Amino acid sequence: MKRLFALCLLALSLALAQPREMRLFIWSEYMDPAIIKAFEQKFNLRVRIDLYESNEDMLAKLQAGGVSQYDVIVPGDYIIPTLIQLKLIQPLDKSKIPNLKNLDPKFANPPFDPGNRYSAAYQWGMSGIMYRKDRVPTPTSWGVILGPGADKPFVLMDSIREMLGAALRFQGKSINTRNPAEVRAAGQVLLSAKKNPRFLGFEGGVGAKNRLVAGTATYAVVYNGDALKAADENKNVGFVVPREGAALFLDNMAIPARASNPEAAHQFINFILDAKIGAQLSNYNRYATPNKAALPFINPADRKNPAIYPDAATMQKLEFVLDLGKDTRLYDEVWTAVKSR
């Protein structure tokens, strides 16, 4: 009996000694492994990471059972109202996230989640054109990809709102238009681009980056951080926001409604919002930080880089992607037609 009791105590002690687990669902190449290691060591837990390449992929996975499989997700701005409406994410316990105070005020009360009830800002950036400087001059318009005269190999972004947004801006329309005729016309622009023999396909940012670095593509629609990483690998890679404008994004951290470890999830969000950790994240990702307390620790060269922190003139050309409620169905229909034809 004593032996059995001792064995039970040993099993219990071993179980307690095992590190807890937190599961993170995040965009690919969007997290510094050193940050994960530091978090694991500080809180004595193991972080498991799964990856996605679009907000829509992430949403589909949550609806297919992922809402109970993950503890932290990193959704884009426009998808958050949908996550809230579908009850796929839970309100944050702000008492467990004291570092929320570090957010820049302009990111602390976003229109898609007033008062940060469900989310906390992670990184922000923009879409645009990545190009090979050794092959072509700096592009000024979406026309080098979306126009009838596009004559160099190009990749389109596999993201519904950014890509339809590019086509809309190319036609002088808002990324957030609710006009069916304008959205369908943007779809026709993308269908015409698909028919161009120089079209290489739809890719996530990492895939597009690799194609440009390898030289198989001359142009690609990407997020600025992917372009800057590509430039680190090949000095002939450049990035520009076309004169017509592009999408501005704010990615955020949120906790799925049935997360198995919400305690660790809150600890993780608070950890990322630490000033020095926030700076480390942006220095790694090459995206702008929404963390005002982190700015003094950002690499000086990045802080001055307009491809990361755009000037006022560029900011005026950028447009936040907003949730369109029931009109989202129109974009879904047009995008499905573009991808399937």
pLDDT tens-digit series, residues 199-241: 999 998 788 889 999 999 999 999 999 999 899 999 999 999 9
Out of 4-8, 12-16, 89-93, 335-339, which region has the weakest mean confidence (pLDDT)? Answer: 12-16
Q: Looking at the structure, tell me whether residues 214 and 331 fall in a common domain.
A: yes
Q: Looking at the structure, tell me whether residues 213 and 328 fall in a common domain.
A: yes
* Degrees to nearest 5, angle at CA 78 with 232 and 29: 25
Domain that holds residue 152: 125-248+315-340
Q: Looking at the structure, tell me whether residues 145 and 67 fall in a common domain.
A: no
Binding-site positions = 29, 78
Binding-site positions for spermidine = 29, 78
pLDDT of residue 207: 86
Q: What is the pLDDT of residues 128-168, one digit of tens each?
A: 999 999 999 999 999 999 999 999 999 999 999 999 999 99
Q: Looking at the structure, tell me whether residues 60 and 172 fall in a common domain.
A: no
User: Which residue, 334, 324, 339, 310, is CA-closest to 126?
Assistant: 310
User: Which residue, 269, 265, 272, is CA-closest to 287?
Assistant: 272
User: Per the structure, how many domains does the chain have?
Assistant: 2
Q: Looking at the structure, tell me whether residues 88 and 31 fall in a common domain.
A: yes
* pLDDT over 70 (residue 323): yes
Q: Is the dihedral of CA 45, 51, 54, 58 positive or negative?
A: negative
